[in-house]
Structure 1
Amino acid sequence: MLNPKTIEIIKSTVPVLEKHGKEITTRFYQMLFEDHPELLNIFNQTNQKTGRQQTALANAVYAAAAYIDKLETIIPVVKQIAHKHRSIGIKPEHYPIVGKYLLLAIEDVVKDVPKEVIEAWGEAYGVIADIFIQTEHEMYVEAAEKEGGWKDYKPFAISRKVKESDLITSIYLKPKDGKPTASFLSGQYISVRVNIPGDEHTHIRQYSLSDAPNGEYYRITIKRESEEKATLGAVSNYLHDQLKEGDSIEISAPAGEFVLDQTTDKPLVLISGGVGVTPLMSMMKVSAKEQPNRDITFIQAARSGRHIALDKEIQEITNGISRKHLICYETPTAEDIEAQSFDKEGYITSQWLNDVISDKAADYYLCGPIPFMKAVYQMLLEIGVQEEAIHYELFGPHEKL
């Protein structure tokens, strides 16, 4: 535990972190990768290029300082980050390296930092690192000891590739050792590790599992990035274009905190934008099978019928009295209009949500692009949905809507 003096010093740095946090974390990553380029094999360089990783770390450091006297309040965030760390392979030996360069970055950006401040942050970082290390150790053990489970990465063969839309493809993965796949909670993801020819460093990406647990295979459903984003979509384009059925990739055991709550039988409302359908698809399948009497409304938004994925699967499951599938196309094609294959044209609106959701006292799960998520989140609040009833998944580093 930290002594009162250390806590006092850390809390006094909150205004500085609020002002210089992004600058500190940007410098931290620069220094870290200059001296330890091997860590580029672990960190997502897309998030580095877009600045999301720097922002996420700055927010985490700020939260740690603000709640240093009440660390129990950030445990939910710790668990979410720990899931990600376990999934990509962060180990205890990485923490002293990160701590060293975080302190160096603080000194480099905030000039003339008193020695006692650096010492206090060093002590605080040690306590926080220990919490992460212990939490992640438990997750590693759980993943390895589960039936069909494993530690770190394991080779899987691509047994099937199915084109779902113009930009989205489902990939079915089976263990190369012939053993059953470990079970998982609907909504969880796996990390995929690939070596792309011509690239110096390994790439790791997280993809939600888009099917229910079955013991035979995992399914991921991924979107190809557009040509202008090709440098930021290296992995998705590689999986789409280069890998074929029979090829193998390495994946880590399922992880993640964004999972379906099956302890309640409240109506379930799933709202997806684009490829955000993937974790919600798994949730729907599990709920339909294990909670057959639970009302389900699945609202699926996409650009058009050429961009929607898994809609036919959803329609088959929602073909019942207590289940409903609604489709919103931003710009429907002539074929969409002729087939009358959608329920709303344009964007989702709060008025439309108010009209189509019959029971507002439901559990809501959202997944999709960040602007979509923010908009739907606010709409739900506007129509009277309680904040604690809204659960969401954001791709990439932890953020809040």
Structure 2
Amino acid sequence: MLSTASRETIRATLPVVGAHLDAITTTFYRRMFAARPELERDLFNRGNQHQGEQQKALAGAVAAFASLQLDPDPERVALILSRIAHKHASLGVTAEQYWIVHEHLFAAIVEILGEAVTPEVASAWDEVYWLMAHTLIDLENGLYARSGVQPGEVWRTVRVARRELQSADAVTFTLTALPGEELPRFAPGQYISVGAHLPDGARQIRQYSLCGSPSDETWRITIKRVPASIGPDGSTRPAGEVSNHLYNTVFEGDELSVTTPFGDLELIDDGSPVLLASAGIGCTPMLGMLHHLASSPEREREVAIVHADRSLADHAHRRELEEVARSIPGSTLHRWYETITDEHAVPALVRAGRADIAELPVREGTRAYLCGPLPFMMSLREGLIARGVPASRIHYEVFGPDSWSAR
């Protein structure tokens, strides 16, 4: 909790700092990467940096956390920090790295705000930073302890036992432990990080959901290659640096550097009705949950499965999704495809267009789990809230910087 003096200073300066946070975070990353280029090369996502997504997410998280010290909302603070902590743990972040961030973040604040940063202002924002940092450090240390590893010691080598094409652009890797080792168990919905060593010498890290059964002795992840594209605003979106590299170069017998499983999109086994909604490759954490439901004593639990994709051909894991849905007595599978070439050849409960939650029955007490592009999840979340599902019972996964939870 902030001291009284700092709280009043934050209240007075938050509008000014908030108005300049984008510039501050951009300057922060520029300064930090100039001083520590290995962080950009081997830890941070270069693609998100170049597109400005990481800067926006950091600015939103800092502003939201500071605001919540003035008008406390413990549930929202827990949501924001839990997601960050899991991502940090999946990268192997340690307490020492918060000092590096502190050094360059406060240098950026002084560079952007200049003389407005009086000793009182600097002290108050320093207190906010360390309150947030120490909370995250405690959360991350708890995640490391729960996983049975020392802080930051999350990396292991696994072997690719099988490579299976799911669609023209998606491939599933079945991963096994090296001889004499075992893979840690994971909760349905969690992910692992993969460290890819790229041709320019960088080690770039990305997260991929575990889409197999948590009871298996192997892990399964699905990689979707991403071509360069033009965004709705006319900007060029670069091709997927890591996903394309893995898709093109990893085959049976190869070894990968991966982490212990993390992620707070965990299926809650409380017996309530479940709605699992995904779009595109967002189906992967839902498959992990469905495999768990299919093999658990709660097989009679009512499950509504919603998936949206571009077409039947683009739908990765389509046959697997159909099969596991049939194995759960209380499940119903609803699908939407933007393009349907032959409407007479598609199964029942398949519709053309975009997913629309208004067309589905939503049981009282439903817990919803969402994964997919941000506009898809925001649309479904709004639809679920309009149908009476409390926001606290809507859970989601965002791969890449999370600019949503801080809103």
Match for residue 92 of structure 2?
89
Q: 1:155, 1:175 within 8 Å by CA — same for their partners in 2?
A: yes
- Structure 2 counterpart of 1:273, from 279, 287, 301: 279
Match for residue 11 of structure 1?
11
Match for residue 330 of structure 1?
338
Q: What secondary structure is seen at the aligned counterpart in 2 of 1:137?
A: helix
- Residues 93 and 232 of structure 1, relative CA distance in 2, 3 Å threshold: farther
- Structure 2 counterpart of 1:398, from 380, 385, 402: 402
Match for residue 207 of structure 2?
206
Q: 1:318, 1:324 within 8 Å by CA — same for their partners in 2?
A: yes
TM superposition shift of 1:288: 2.2
TM superposition shift of 1:378: 1.8
Q: What secondary structure is seen at the aligned counterpart in 1 of 2:378?
A: helix
TM superposition shift of 1:88: 0.4
Distance of 1:130 and 1:116 partners within structure 2: 21
Q: Is 1:349–2:356 an aligned residue pair?
A: yes
Distance of 1:47 and 1:87 partners within structure 2: 17
- Residues 359 and 124 of structure 1, relative CA distance in 2, 3 Å threshold: closer
Q: What secondary structure is seen at the aligned counterpart in 2 of 1:163?
A: strand
What one-letter code is carried by the residue in structure 1 that aligns with 2:17? L
What one-letter code is carried by the residue in structure 2 that aligns with 1:219? R
Match for residue 43 of structure 1?
44
Match for residue 241 of structure 2?
234
- Structure 2 counterpart of 1:246, from 245, 249, 253: 253
Distance of 1:135 and 1:350 partners within structure 2: 35
Q: Which deviates the most, 338-347 or 179-188?
A: 338-347
By relative contact order (CA 8 Å, sep 6+), the higher-ranking structure is: 2
Deviations, residues 326-375 of structure 1 (Å, cap 9, x unaligned): 221111234xx35224610111224423xxx2525421111111111112
Q: What secondary structure is seen at the aligned counterpart in 1 of 2:261?
A: coil
Distance of 2:51 and 2:180 partners within structure 1: 39
What one-letter code is carried by the residue in structure 2 that aligns with 1:300? H
Distance of 1:71 and 1:27 partners within structure 2: 30
TM superposition shift of 1:71: 8.2
What one-letter code is carried by the residue in structure 1 that aligns with 2:371? C
Q: 1:159, 1:172 within 8 Å by CA — same for their partners in 2?
A: yes
- Structure 2 counterpart of 1:282, from 266, 280, 288: 288
Q: What secondary structure is seen at the aligned counterpart in 2 of 1:191?
A: strand
TM superposition shift of 1:76: 3.1
What one-letter code is carried by the residue in structure 1 that aligns with 2:334? L
TM superposition shift of 1:92: 1.3
Q: Which deviates the most, 24-33 or 285-294?
A: 285-294
TM superposition shift of 1:15: 0.5
- In the alignment, structure 1 segments of 5+ residues that lack a partner are none
Match for residue 128 of structure 2?
124
Identity of aligned residues (%): 34
Q: 1:191, 1:207 within 8 Å by CA — same for their partners in 2?
A: yes
Q: 1:182, 1:215 within 8 Å by CA — same for their partners in 2?
A: no
Match for residue 309 of structure 1?
316
TM superposition shift of 1:63: 1.8
- Residues 23 and 47 of structure 1, relative CA distance in 2, 3 Å threshold: same
Distance of 2:127 and 2:336 partners within structure 1: 52
Distance of 1:241 and 1:30 partners within structure 2: 31
Distance of 2:191 and 2:174 partners within structure 1: 14
Q: 2:385, 2:391 within 8 Å by CA — same for their partners in 1?
A: yes
Matches within 5 A, 1:208-223: 208-223=209-224
Matches within 5 A, 1:103-122: 103-113=106-116, 114-122=118-126
Q: Which deviates the most, 51-60 or 214-223?
A: 214-223
Match for residue 255 of structure 1?
262
Q: What secondary structure is seen at the aligned counterpart in 1 of 2:334?
A: strand
Distance of 1:241 and 1:86 partners within structure 2: 28
What one-letter code is carried by the residue in structure 2 that aligns with 1:169? V
Q: What secondary structure is seen at the aligned counterpart in 1 of 2:115?
A: coil
Count the aligned residue pairs. Answer: 392
- Residues 103 and 358 of structure 1, relative CA distance in 2, 3 Å threshold: closer
Q: Which deviates the most, 97-106 or 133-142?
A: 133-142
Deviations, residues 204-245 of structure 1 (Å, cap 9, x unaligned): 001111112135211111211024478441110111111111
Q: 2:191, 2:210 within 8 Å by CA — same for their partners in 1?
A: yes
What one-letter code is carried by the residue in structure 2 that aligns with 1:156? V
What one-letter code is carried by the residue in structure 2 that aligns with 1:21? L
Q: TM-score with structure 2 length normalisation?
A: 0.90
What one-letter code is carried by the residue in structure 2 that aligns with 1:190? I
Distance of 2:351 and 2:241 partners within structure 1: 34
